[in-house]
Amino acid sequence: MPIEPVETIWVNGELVAWEDAKIHVLSHALHYGTGVFEGIRAYETERGPAVFRLTDHLERMRTSARIFLMELPYTTAQLRDAVHELIRANRLRSCYIRPLAFRGFGGEMGVNPERNPIDVVIAVWRWGRYLGDDALRRGIRATISSWRRQDPNIIPPSAKATGAYVNASMAKLEAVHAGYDEAIMLNPAGFVAEASGENVFIVRDGVLLTPPLAAGPLPGITRASIIDIAGDEGIPVAERDLTRADLYTAEEMFLVGTAAEVTPVREVDERVIGDPGPVTLALQQRFFDIVQGRDGKFSEWLDVVA
């Protein structure tokens, strides 16, 4: 998706002009994928831009870093302040937020990352609908990828690591080249893990089902939010392994993520699910009411930028 430049990007504690936010070509992360990142959204509300679950996202980035023996050189409070400062500096009412911590260039080459500094950057930009303008209303077409989600003993899928996204990219490319909007990835055991950049939910007999974290999806913050919202709506939820056939026979299906928000799925490999169903629509409506500050129930999820 195209992104339009804003004025400044936060680089190691300073606001730098968009066009000057550059790195050395010998940065370790560019060669070996040694970085961790986040994707966060801020929504326009009556009280100003509200960042959705900002601290939860920053804590997940710290957890991702920990898995790779990276100690982030900033506290969560410092990073939170930086996000607020950056949104104010760029005068944005709503935006996508991309914090990234990566092994930079420390004068050495080789697989061991430890001699390289940990650089931290945060960028913000205005972002529309990740899967296209019609996606939220009409739903998308998905396919089961021939590429498996990586085994937890290859690269932990619970860490949001830059290098791991080669796997998601392969699946996305395959799906788009075959004429689909999104790829669903199975784990090495053959159960549904997640989509290339979203968690998966289906509805069966009125019950909302999603793969457990042990099936290897990213522990999505939107996923956790949807489970809580469903609970509040009185919709029964269960985390359990799903097979490919469970998706083919689902009554309803949708994908969730920061970028994709709550996107209905209308077809999987030509098995038609159809227009978004009642559970999908109710959860999607409630999600947007919450993130845009119209629903007081989960107001602690909104971090308003003063």
Q: Would you tell me which residues interact with ligand PPE (CB under 6 A)? A: 39, 168, 194, 197-199, 217-218, 220-223, 257-260
Q: How far is the CB of 108 from ligand PPE (least distance, A)?
A: 29
Q: Mention every residue, 6+ apart, whose C-beta is less than 8 A from residue 21.
A: 9, 11, 121, 123
Q: How far is the CB of 172 from ligand PPE (least distance, A)?
A: 9
Q: Mention every residue, 6+ apart, whose C-beta is less than 8 A from residue 23.
A: 30, 104, 105, 119
Phi, psi angle pair for 63, to nearest 5°? -65, -45
> Which residue's C-beta sits nearest to ligand PPE?
39
Of 26 and 213, the one with the shorter C-beta distance to ligand PPE is: 213
Q: How far is the CB of 203 from ligand PPE (least distance, A)?
A: 19
Q: How far is the CB of 300 from ligand PPE (least distance, A)?
A: 17
- The CB-side HSE value for 187 (13 A sphere, CA atoms) comes to 24
Of 74 and 287, the one with the shorter C-beta distance to ligand PPE is: 287
User: CA 237 to CA 205: how far, in whole Å?
Assistant: 11
Per the structure block, which two tokens stand in for 69? 């023996």
Of 6 and 168, the one with the shorter C-beta distance to ligand PPE is: 168
Of 42 and 116, the one with the shorter C-beta distance to ligand PPE is: 42
User: CA 255 to CA 241: how far, in whole Å?
Assistant: 16
Burial (Cβ within 10 Å: 0-12, 13-18, ≥19) of residue 264: buried
What is the CB neighbour count within 10 angstroms for residue 177? 8
Select which of 22, 160, 172, 297 is catalytic: 160
Q: Is 172 known to be catalytic?
A: no
Of 116 and 131, the one with the shorter C-beta distance to ligand PPE is: 131
- Please report which residue ranges of the chain form alpha helices under DSSP H: 28-32, 54-67, 76-89, 135-138, 165-177, 221-233, 244-248, 278-291
Residues with catalytic function? 160
